[in-house]
Amino acid sequence: MSKLLQRYLGSGDALTRLQDHAARLRRLQGILEAGLPPQFSNACSVANLKDEVLVIAARGGAIAVRLKQMTPTLLDHFIRAGFPLKTIKIKVSTPEQVVEKRAPTVRSMSVSARSSLTDFAATLPDGSPLREALERLARRSRES
């Protein structure tokens, strides 16, 4: 373990506390999922528990508003499950960004254009970046 990590964690007590906290959050997540309608199970998650205040992250404003309306019921649900909470805070989490993968560009050229391109590339010096680019373009293009 690095010295910085050892200094941050101190003895093993800090790591044990962190593991206990993570396990507690997992148990709370299970209790939350059991107390919610099925359509909400993938739309919210337990974010943190500190000083008997549970923070739930909702994926969107509409879900957050509905959870705030359900807070008294959820609070009773957690208390009955053995977690004496004072309050529940609902936060709107930032949406996960989905990176759309672009479709590959389809290059097409006629047989004569490809032949002309290949002939011109052959006149350029070996190892020339332009020659390599033109040869690659001719190789990757489809016939039109």
Beta-bridge partners for 87: 53
Find the mean pLDDT for residues 61-84. Answer: 92
pLDDT of 76 > 70? The answer is yes
Check residue 38 and give its pLDDT. 85
Determine the length of the chain.
Answer: 144
**Better pLDDT: 2 or 112:** 112
Report the interhelical angle of 12-35 vs 61-80 (nearest 10°).
100
Domain borders along the chain are 3-92, 108-143
pLDDT of 2 > 80? The answer is no
Which letter does DSSP use for residue 38 in this model?
G
Residue found by looking up tokens 């974010």 in the block:
47
SS3 state at 42: coil
Q: What is the pLDDT of residues 84-132, one digit of tens each?
A: 899 999 999 876 666 677 777 776 889 899 999 999 999 999 999 999 9
Residue found by looking up tokens 């962190």 in the block:
18
SS3 state at 93: coil
CB-neighbour burial class of residue 39 (10 A; exposed 0-12, middle 13-18, buried 19+) = exposed
Q: What is the pLDDT of residues 21-36, one digit of tens each?
A: 999 999 999 999 998 8
Tokens of 114: 């490809």
The highest-level CATH class for domain 3-92 is alpha beta
Helix ranges (H only) for the chain are 3-9, 12-35, 61-80, 111-123, 129-140
pLDDT of 69 > 90? The answer is yes
Reported confidence tier of residue 40, pLDDT bands at 50, 70, 90: confident
Kindly state the percentage of the chain with pLDDT values over 70: 87
Reported confidence tier of residue 7, pLDDT bands at 50, 70, 90: low
Instruction: Report how far Cα 9 is from the mean position of its chain's Cα atoms.
Output: 27
